[in-house]
Amino acid sequence: MLPEQVITLPTPRLSGAVSVEEAIGTRRSIRSFDRRKLSWEQIGQLAWAAQGITGDDRRWRVAPSAGALHPLELYVLFSDSSYHYDPVTHSLRFHQTVDLSEVADAALKQPFIAQAACVFAFSGRVTLTAKVYGERALRYVCMDLGHAAQNLLLQAAALGLAGTPVGAFDDAALRFALKLSPGDEPLYLVPVGYPK
Ligand SMILES: Cc1cc2nc3c(=O)[nH]c(=O)nc-3n(C[C@H](O)[C@H](O)[C@H](O)COP(=O)(O)O)c2cc1C
């Protein structure tokens, strides 16, 4: 069966039952997931928390970015396919077929990654930030990434989900597994699912 090319995500909620203090206080890296899938509401909420748009144009987002350049790209990986998140239309567009166990292997063989309901993969275009900030670009992209990833982790905690940031991987192997285009550097994986 051909994968759906574009998935329009449900409108994200701007309020919830869990306070930001509770989300901060309960967030934990958990590496064991049960088999339940996430709903499109949950997936959309998580993607929005990481990179959603909150202002008049694409420069104003949930997370700060040096110069409002927003060099990060966000992909959502399922068992056999990856989707690129488009913050402007709040939708997922089919990117490539993927093998989650290859992704877990590229992350220095961390098998729990392949057991998550889905994996959020951040990549970044350092050259975009470098056009304005030169040698400080990598530092700034990493700072952008920390803001965005923490939003995602806190949103997962608020939804009662488990998420763990993963930064240990072989760059070339992960770039290959994610089928990223040149200049789009793999930066972080965040497997998310229901905690076991
Ligand atoms: C930059 C970074 C890279 C990380 N890489 C991994 C990783 O590759 N695998 C993993 O299981 N956890 C990884 N973690 C999660 C840490 O192990 C975890 O945050 C730490 O043990 C503290 O636990 P807590 O997140 O529950 O507070 C990483 C965390 C950070 C900030």
Show the domains of the chain with their CATH numbers.
18-82+106-193 (3.40.109.10)
Half-sphere exposure of 81 (CA within 13 A, CB side): 13
Q: Which residue, by CA, sits nearest to atom 2 of ligand 1?
A: 167
28 Cα–ligand 1 center, Å: 9
The predicted-structure confidence for 31-45, as pLDDT tens digits, reads as follows 999 989 999 999 999
Angle between helices 137-158 and 40-51 (to 10 degrees): 150
Cα(115)–Cα(36) distance, rounded to whole angstroms? Answer: 10
4 Cα–ligand 1 center, Å: 33
Cα(84)–Cα(86) distance, rounded to whole angstroms? Answer: 6
Q: Which residue, by CA, sits nearest to atom 15 of ligand 1?
A: 165
Q: What is the pTM of this model?
A: 0.97
Half-sphere exposure of 168 (CA within 13 A, CB side): 8
Which residue, among 167, 152, 88, has the nearest Cα to 118 in the 3D structure?
152
CB count within 10 Å of CB 83 equals 25
Q: Which residue, by CA, sits nearest to atom 11 of ligand 1?
A: 166
pLDDT (0 to 100) of residue 2: 59
Residue 57 banded pLDDT, cuts 50, 70, 90? confident
57 Cα–ligand 1 center, Å: 33
Q: Is pLDDT above 80 for 23?
A: yes
pLDDT (0 to 100) of residue 4: 82
Q: Is pLDDT above 90 for 56?
A: no
Instruction: Assign 3-state DSSP to the chain and report helix, strand, coil percentages, each to 5.
Output: 40, 25, 40
Name the CA radius of gyration of the chain, rounded. Answer: 16
Q: Is pLDDT above 90 for 58?
A: no
Q: Which residue, by CA, sits nearest to atom 17 of ligand 1?
A: 29
Residue 3 banded pLDDT, cuts 50, 70, 90? confident
56 Cα–ligand 1 center, Å: 34
List residues near ligand 1 (CB under 6 A).
28-29, 31, 110, 164-168
Q: Which residue, by CA, sits nearest to atom 18 of ligand 1?
A: 29
Q: Is pLDDT above 60 for 1?
A: no
105 Cα–ligand 1 center, Å: 17
When the pLDDT of each residue in the chain is averaged and rounded to a whole number, the result is 96
From start to end of the chain, where are the E strands?
6-8, 72-77, 81-86, 91-97, 118-124, 162-163, 185-193
pLDDT (0 to 100) of residue 47: 98
Give the mean pLDDT of 130-147. Answer: 98
Residue 80 banded pLDDT, cuts 50, 70, 90? very high
125 Cα–ligand 1 center, Å: 23
Q: Is pLDDT above 70 for 181?
A: yes
